[in-house]
Amino acid sequence: MDALKDLEVWKRACRLSVNLYRITSDCREYGFKDQITRAGLSIASNIAEGYERETSPLRIHFFKIAKGSCGEVWTQLKIGRAAGFIDQATTRELEMEVKEISRMLWGLIQYYKKQQSNELVPRNSYLIKWGIV
């Protein structure tokens, strides 16, 4: 878990989650507040869970869930702004941050997809060489 502390996308997702809790602390709309804070928390939590998994496919799975939660937070920021729960400047700032986290997750997913294909090549070559497949 110590290596996770150095993962920039995880650190940014944690900061985003804290900011979502802060900006909604006075929000009276419990359903909105609960949904956006849970979605924000889901980003960092799924990055952590994926990072702790042992195989690339499992890591990719959790990183994709985190990326989906980015879309959820982005949508809720739009709705929160339109409903007057969040001011325009804060909305823009958080939208930019969640988009950047989503882009970083895309890069991480692509990295582990490449790792996954590299993991499969030697194994398949070995199986073919020994006539197993």
pLDDT at 130: 47
CA distance 76 to 9: 20
Say whether 130 sits in a helix, a strand or coil. Answer: coil
| CATH code linked to domain 2-129 | 1.20.1440.60
As averages over each run of 10 residues, the pLDDT of the chain (133 residues) reads: 84 98 94 97 97 91 98 98 96 98 95 78 48 40
Can you give the residue ranges of every domain in the chain? 2-129
pLDDT at 107: 94
User: pTM of the prediction?
Assistant: 0.85
Query: What's the distance, CA 14 to chain centroid?
Result: 10
pLDDT at 33: 97
CA distance 44 to 8: 11
